[in-house]
């Protein structure tokens, strides 16, 4: 039963459609072959992103996955390299093991705490000792993720990042931040984004998430690092021709949408409060720091897969996080009335499922291809 023609898409902040301003900028973009020389719009955008992030240089890449892969492979350019990263990190869980299958880099996971951090003493303990060089991989890199997607969009503090940076420096290691949502963290923490990443040798920044660009990420770091990253991007097939068309849209996203992230976070809290009033759900309200809301379903009759299917019949899109919880993500194209409409639809979906009147096409255990969970 469709109660509203408009689709309220809460699956992710990757679902935004380009704004009219982005489309106009794309149409008007001054472009050239970025492989044969330098697309002027890409060059301007990369210089602006380096300035904003407080790094020497920047490189536009087609996706966050490629941004992380290129960054890890530049830092870990010798055989037998190992990277220390979170066991629940996007790089380790959702990027097809690319650092290993493509880059030959060995992952050394450390448990992620619920707040997205890894215990500093466990990071230090994970660093391979020189004495074992005959047997062990060689630690070259530590990766953090801010905000942390699988930990509910939690923010890593600048104090924590600086401490990990000190550990990396004192052990001769590099530090990469998967900053897919670094602007969400900067806004939620009230810390300028260049200060937040000061300790990092490289950062990947998604333009196609909360910033609303249709495509792309940017890597920032030293000029020497970005020069190597540019070659590796080409090796991976990421060299692009008139890429200014995409950079023009991304530039509009950075200019127009960063200022809207605080409102995304406010709406996420409104959504979380509403969900917490539904007695079959539990939400840890203190964990809603940015634009993501995870809620657990206590009633076994209501599975995440069933709930998402019934919501889809009402044009509200959501994704199971796993077999017991659902993830909802706010972005700037979700209005306050969309939030209220979604809450009403969720309440009605729960009633339909519990009354037995809900219709399902197919059921899975929640870990389907279209689920975020694992």
Counting residues that bind ligand PLP (by CB under 6 A) gives: 13
The answer to the question of residue 14 lying near ligand THR (CB under 6 A) is yes
Interface characters, 148-187, with ligand THR (x: CB under 6 A): -x--------------------------------------
Counting residues that bind ligand THR (by CB under 6 A) gives: 5
By CB neighbour count within 10 A (0-12 exposed, 13-18 middle, 19+ buried), where does 224 fall?
A: exposed
For residue 12, the surrounding DSSP H or E stretch is: none
Of 48, 41, 49, 146, the C-alpha closest to 91 is 146
The answer to the question of residue 145 lying near ligand PLP (CB under 6 A) is yes
E strands within the chain?
Answer: 8-9, 57-61, 81-86, 106-110, 138-145, 174-179, 202-206, 217-221, 281-282, 292-297, 316-317, 319-320, 325-329
Q: Looking only at residues 69 through 128 of this chain, which bind ligand THR when binding is defined by CB under 6 A?
A: 94
Which listed residue (208, 257, 290, 322) binds ligand PLP by CB under 6 A? 208
Which listed residue (55, 75, 90, 314) binds ligand PLP by CB under 6 A? 90
The answer to the question of residue 14 lying near ligand PLP (CB under 6 A) is yes
The answer to the question of residue 65 lying near ligand PLP (CB under 6 A) is yes
Q: Give the DSSP per-residue string, 45-106.
A: HHHHHHHHHTSSEEEEES-HHHHHHHHHHHHT-STTEEEEEETT-HHHHSSTTHHHHTT-PE
| Cβ at position 216, least distance to ligand PLP in Å | 8
The size of the chain, in residues, is 374
CB nearer ligand PLP, residue 14 or residue 333: 14
| Cβ at position 61, least distance to ligand PLP in Å | 9
- In this structure, what token pair is assigned to residue 104? 């030959």
Which listed residue (9, 34, 178, 305) binds ligand PLP by CB under 6 A? 178
The answer to the question of residue 63 lying near ligand PLP (CB under 6 A) is yes
The answer to the question of residue 12 lying near ligand THR (CB under 6 A) is yes
The answer to the question of residue 180 lying near ligand PLP (CB under 6 A) is yes
Beta pairing partners, 202: 176, 221
Chosen from ligand THR, ligand PLP, none, partner binding at 372 (C-beta under 5 to 8 Å by type): ligand THR
The distance of Cα 233 from the centroid of its chain, to the nearest Å, equals 20
Owner of token pair 């909802």:
328
- Contact between residue 69 and residue 98 where contact means Cβ atoms under 8 Å apart: yes
Gap between the Cα atoms of 149 and 152, Å rounded: 6
The answer to the question of residue 206 lying near ligand PLP (CB under 6 A) is yes
User: Interface residues with ligand THR (CB under 6 A)?
Assistant: 12, 14, 94, 149, 372
User: Interface residues with ligand PLP (CB under 6 A)?
Assistant: 14, 63-65, 68, 90, 145, 149, 178, 180, 206, 208, 217
């Amino acid at each position: 039963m469709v109660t509203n023609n408009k689709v309220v898409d809460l699956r992710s902040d990757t679902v935004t459609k380009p704004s009219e301003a982005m489309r106009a900028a794309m149409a008007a973009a001054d472009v050239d072959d970025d492989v044969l020389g330098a697309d002027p719009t890409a060059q301007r955008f990369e210089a602006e992103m380096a300035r904003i992030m407080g790094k020497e240089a920047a490189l536009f890449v087609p996706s966050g996955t490629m941004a992380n892969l290129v960054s890890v492979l530049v830092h870990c350019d010798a055989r037998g390299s190992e990277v220390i990263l979170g066991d629940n990190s996007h790089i380790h869980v959702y990027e097809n093991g690319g650092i290993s299958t493509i880059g030959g880099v060995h992952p050394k996971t450390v448990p992620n705490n619920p707040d997205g951090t890894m215990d500093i003493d466990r990071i230090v303990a994970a660093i391979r000792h020189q004495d074992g060089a005959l047997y062990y991989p060689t630690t070259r890199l530590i990766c953090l993720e801010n905000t942390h997607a699988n930990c509910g969009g939690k923010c890593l503090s600048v104090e924590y990042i600086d401490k990990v940076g000190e550990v990396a420096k004192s052990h001769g290691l590099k530090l990469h931040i998967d900053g897919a949502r670094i602007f969400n963290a900067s806004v939620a923490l009230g810390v300028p984004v260049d200060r937040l990443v000061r300790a990092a040798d490289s950062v990947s920044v998604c333009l196609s998430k909360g910033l609303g660009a249709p495509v792309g990420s940017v890597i920032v770091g030293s000029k020497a690092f970005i020069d190597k990253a540019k070659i590796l991007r080409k090796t991976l097939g990421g060299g692009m021709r008139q890429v200014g068309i995409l950079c023009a849209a991304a530039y509009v996203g950075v200019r127009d949408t960063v200022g809207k992230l605080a409102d995304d976070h406010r709406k996420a809290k409104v959504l979380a409060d509403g969900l917490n009033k539904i007695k079959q759900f539990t939400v840890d309200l203190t964990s809603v720091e940015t634009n993501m809301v995870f809620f657990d379903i206590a009633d076994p009759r209501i599975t995440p897969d069933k709930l998402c299917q019934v919501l889809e019949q009402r044009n509200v899109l959501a994704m199971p996080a796993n077999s017991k919880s659902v993830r909802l993500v706010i972005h700037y194209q979700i209005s306050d009335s969309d939030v209220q409409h979604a809450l009403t639809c969720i309440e009605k979906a729960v009633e339909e499922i519990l009354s037995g009147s809900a219709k399902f096409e197919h059921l899975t255990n929640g870990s389907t291809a279209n689920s975020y969970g694992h």
